Structure 1
């Protein structure tokens, strides 16, 4: 029997486990999927916006994999804590695949970035997704106006959540505390700001269009900013998704009067503005100073020396994610990834026997959820090719016993099912569908009610 640990239960981890057990090259593969959280599914549970129920339904297919008798879920197990180092894991398993994602947000690197009221989009998403590590501050939603810096789907998500009414979120699994804060939000205007033009923005058209369908909200775009984009007049050279994006914002720009007359929340899409300073007053965010940019002729932008101050009491930075080094594993600080060869971890220029990576920690924070499938298959193929040498090593007969001896309290699948039952009961008590439990103690208490947890 080949025992493999997969660290991380998001899509990349689950797809890796699936690829390992559904092949016929190496019989007898058994996989333990470890996660720091008591709950599986990674960013599908804690990163997909609560109003995107179709995407969140991917949990059903991930569940099918984790219920395979050859795969065991072990939540509440943190690699790097309580003596569970990468070296110790290799004493428990023949091979270990790290699928730990990219947990840190990229910073703007401008003065005032750490003022009260300036947050990363990662923190905001974690809060409305009920991540147990999330801050419970309410994010100052009594503010009048907000600025979201970024031009990807995360920026679109947080903009939409700020502009969407609480009544529309009541039928989702958003935690009760976040729902109450959003219900009493004073924000009337959200400006999503990009340093380049709409032809280079990275959001997908479906998510972009959603901004124009929110009840009680309207979208405005400055036609003059669109005209700065060389592709505005002739978008034929753009990829299809970028052409569709340009068509959407072009339509909004043609209806400036509708946005001006709107009484509800207003969403502004701004382009060719680069943040140079988060402005403060009495230690809190008061606005953002942007430098006007212009195309440099090579796909990038250059500063023009012209500046604009945008008032805001809340700033959300959505400029990308970055991998975090795991003590005991090599790490490329420049790329934010673990060095590898076809998924095999590289130490001192050579593949490290038994250590592998998949997902964002392998390739960087790129692609969509489906991109993890071929990435996971490549890593699994490398591991299976190495299987004869890996299986020759002696490992622990029962890794769970060893984990408990180290002080870990693994939450197994029945424990997770108990969490689901507790969240369903919480929702019923609030007259809502299942509502996520947002804190560590609540999750662990619920898990203990499950047999075998």
Structure 2
């Protein structure tokens, strides 16, 4: 059956009133005062409910009083990396969820979870039902290290490791072995420092966060006492921010263990770097080279755990144990820098060193994956090719967030990039490049298609049931929430 026929039959199914679920959803929309299907309201569909999706929706709703926005999400729960990427001990970063909730509850916005775009419904079907489709589904793939041994037991991507302790359903069974003494993290960005901090944090700190119970129990039994955070370039090129570094420096029961030689020439180079970078590097220098005061010396002497940056190192091979079953160490190439500042390149010296470790976590970046054969995708850059959020050679199709730019920046960066995409979309509506004069059925036809295919979306009020249940479970054990860990359990709670 063609897409047009499917839409027509879907619309007919909707209006016939044969479906109790669709009738209930329609009633809910009317009760909440949502605008009904009309010829004059532009309809925009957003794929993905992380920060990029919600910020795009927020800007569209504020900028134009007649636009209706539907957000589709693969999981039954919203908020993407705010829920699954932000460290459990950074609850303040998650406050943005309050803003996203206001957007989701707006009379001209609807959330449809448990809908896998590209599988349950195609992008082309969405384009037929909406005036514009914005792809904001983020970066759920892993960048490969590209060295022998990376498939050994004991090697994980930071994305999966973070997903495990944050309750991402498809990472639930990761069960990392934390029985070794030394862990090596490849990469020196904020995610790498988040992972190091979680591995070394005292149990009393973690038990008061929303970290999952299985992860909390595993970390309570962890034998890891030393975490090396490895980067291919030097201190001036480190990718973390000062906030994350300060948290490592002040982490209870830990002490830093730096290599003084890594900081040669850094003081002289500081006069030419921007202020934020200068402050970050000065804190590193102080931590690495200065003799601490008496109180800090005493604190470090009592510490049972160690963290350290290792600069000018690139992975060459993950070394196996005698049975060739699991990780026993990592071989690192020793680099030197060519050039200076942000543009400095790491060049191999030909020397290597081996480090014994039982856990290797690769934090070298996330990457986006193609969603649908009809959507252009640049495999080398792992982005959808676009011009200010307008997908190239695809009228009416837009993108925002990491899918648009690659995995860079913090939530504020994503906010600005998503607002830019929304502005591009508004410009196209205003100029007539995007024709919004023709009536589009929007969620009416898509929900009918989904019902025909046996897919039951989770609406925002259903998510609020999950939210209440998680909060209730958390309060019972002194945590802000205890996350549901399987899609099945989420759906069960949502449909009570």
The TM-score with structure 1 as length reference comes to 0.93
Cα distance change, pair 135–143 in 1 and its aligned pair in 2 (3 A): farther
Alignment check: 8 A CA contact 2:253 2:300 kept? no
State how far apart, in whole Å, the 2-side matches of 1:162 and 1:318 are: 14
Q: Equivalent residue of 1:155, what SS?
A: helix
Q: Which is further off, 261-270 or 209-218?
A: 261-270
Question: Is 1:324–2:366 an aligned residue pair?
Answer: no
Structure 1 counterpart of 2:479: 432
Structure 1 counterpart of 2:241: 204
State how far apart, in whole Å, the 2-side matches of 1:255 and 1:280 are: 37
1:52-451 matches, within 5 Å, as 52-82=90-120, 84-227=121-264, 230-254=265-289, 261-281=301-321, 282=323, 283-297=325-339, 299-327=344-372, 328-347=374-393, 352-387=394-429, 388=432, 389-396=434-441, 398=444, 399-449=446-496
Shift of 1:178: 0.7
Shift of 1:425: 2.0
Alignment check: 8 A CA contact 1:287 1:311 kept? yes
User: Which has more radius of gyration?
Assistant: 2
Higher share in helix: 2
Higher share in strand: 1
Structure 1 counterpart of 2:73: 35
State how far apart, in whole Å, the 1-side matches of 2:475 and 2:191 are: 30
Alignment check: 8 A CA contact 2:241 2:280 kept? yes
Structure 2 counterpart of 1:12: 52
Deviation per CA, 1:163-198: give whole Å up to 9, x if none.
Answer: 102210111111111111111111111111111111
Q: Equivalent residue of 1:390, what SS?
A: coil
Number of equivalenced pairs: 440
Q: Which is further off, 27-36 or 307-316?
A: 27-36
Alignment check: 8 A CA contact 1:165 1:182 kept? no
- Aligned CA-pair RMSD: 1.8
Alignment check: 8 A CA contact 1:223 1:253 kept? yes
Q: Gapped runs of 5+ residues in structure 1? A: none
Shift of 1:437: 1.2
Shift of 1:269: 1.2
Q: Gapped runs of 5+ residues in structure 2? A: 1-40
Shift of 1:103: 1.4
